[in-house]
A and B are shown apart, each in its own frame.
Chain A
Amino acid sequence: MPGLEGLMHGFELAFQPQNLIFALIGTIVGTLVGVLPGIGPALTIALLLPLTYSVDPSAAFIMFAGIYYGAMYGGSTTAILLKTPGESGSVITAIDGNRMARMGRGATALATAAIGSFVAGTIATMLVAFFAPWIVDIAVQLGPQDYLALMVVAFLTVSALVGSSPLRGLISMAVGLAISLVGIDFQSGQQRLTFGLLPLLDGIDTVVLIVALFAIGELFYVVAHQSTLLFKVMPFAGRWMNREDWRRSWKPWLRGTAIGFPLGVIPAGGSEIPTFLSYTLERRLSKRPEEFGHGAIEGVAGPEAANNANAAGTMVPLLTLGIPTSATAAVILVAFQQYGIQTGPQLLETNGPLVWSLIASLVVANAILLLLNLPLVGLWVKLLKIPKPYMFAGIATFAVLGAYAAGGSTFDVGLLLVLGVLGYLMRRFGYPVSPLIVGAILGPIAEVQFRRALDIAGGDPATLVSTPFTWAIYGTLALVFILTFALRRRPSKRDVLIEVGALPTSLIPTIEAVPTIETPSADRAPRREAARAQSDQE
Chain B
Amino acid sequence: MSDVSSPQETATPEDPQPEDLGHGSRPPSTTGLGEWVVAGAVFVLGGVVLFDGLGQRQSTSASGIGAGFMPIVVGSALLALAALLAVQLARGRRGEPEQAEGDVDVTRTHWVALGIAAAGLLFFLFTVEPLGFIPATTVMFFLISLAMGSRRYPTAFVIALATACVIFFAFTKLLSIDLPAGVLEGII
| Residues of A bordering B, CB below 8 Å | 37-38, 50-51, 53-54, 82-88, 91, 164-165, 167-168, 170-171, 174-175, 177-178, 181, 185, 187-188, 190, 192-193, 216, 218-232, 385, 387-390, 392-394, 396-398, 400-401, 404-405, 408, 410, 413-414, 417, 420, 425, 427-431, 443, 447, 450-451, 454-459, 504, 506-507, 510-511, 513-515, 517-519, 533, 536-537
Contacts and interface: CB of A to CB of B under 8 A. Distances in A.
Contact of A389 (B53, B124, B149): B149
Contact of A413 (B65, B105, B124, B148): B124
Contact of B176 (A54, A174, A458): A54
A226 B148 contact: yes
A450 B75 CA distance: 17
A511 B99 CA distance: 12
Interface in B162-184: 163-164, 167, 171, 175-179
Interface string B103-138: 111101111011001101110111011000000010
Contacts of B176: 54
Contact of B95 (A181, A430, A458): A430
Contacts of B46: 174
B1 A387 contact: yes
B43 to A, nearest CB: 11
Given A226-B148, A428-B106, A447-B70, 6 more contacts: A220-B114, A228-B16, A404-B128, A451-B65, A455-B63, A506-B99
Interface in B73-101: 74-75, 77-78, 81-82, 84-85, 88, 92-101
Contacts of A458: 62-63
A314 B150 CA distance: 41
Smallest CB-CB A-B distances: 6 pairs: A430-B95, A389-B148, A185-B67, A459-B63, A454-B63, A389-B150
B96 A410 contact: no
Given A405-B171, A537-B93, A397 B163 contact: yes
Contact of B17 (A175, A228, A456): A228
B113 A223 contact: yes
A408 B128 CA distance: 11
Given A222-B104, A390-B150, A451-B61, A430 B121 contact: no
Nearest to A514: B94
A450 B104 CA distance: 43
Nearest to B137: A397
B71 A222 contact: no
A221 B84 contact: no
Given A190-B66, A414-B125, A458-B63, A175 B42 contact: yes
A392 B160 CA distance: 12
A25 to B, nearest CB: 13
Contacts of B164: 397
Interface in B46-69: 46, 48-49, 52-53, 56-57, 59-67, 69
15 contacts: A37-B102, A170-B81, A188-B66, A190-B57, A190-B66, A192-B52, A219-B144, A223-B110, A225-B105, A226-B103, A392-B145, A396-B140, A430-B95, A455-B61, A517-B30
Nearest to A193: B52
Given A187-B66, A218-B101, A410-B129, A387 B56 contact: no
B121 A216 contact: yes
A178 B52 CA distance: 11
Contacts of A389: 4, 144-150, 156
Nearest to A84: B102
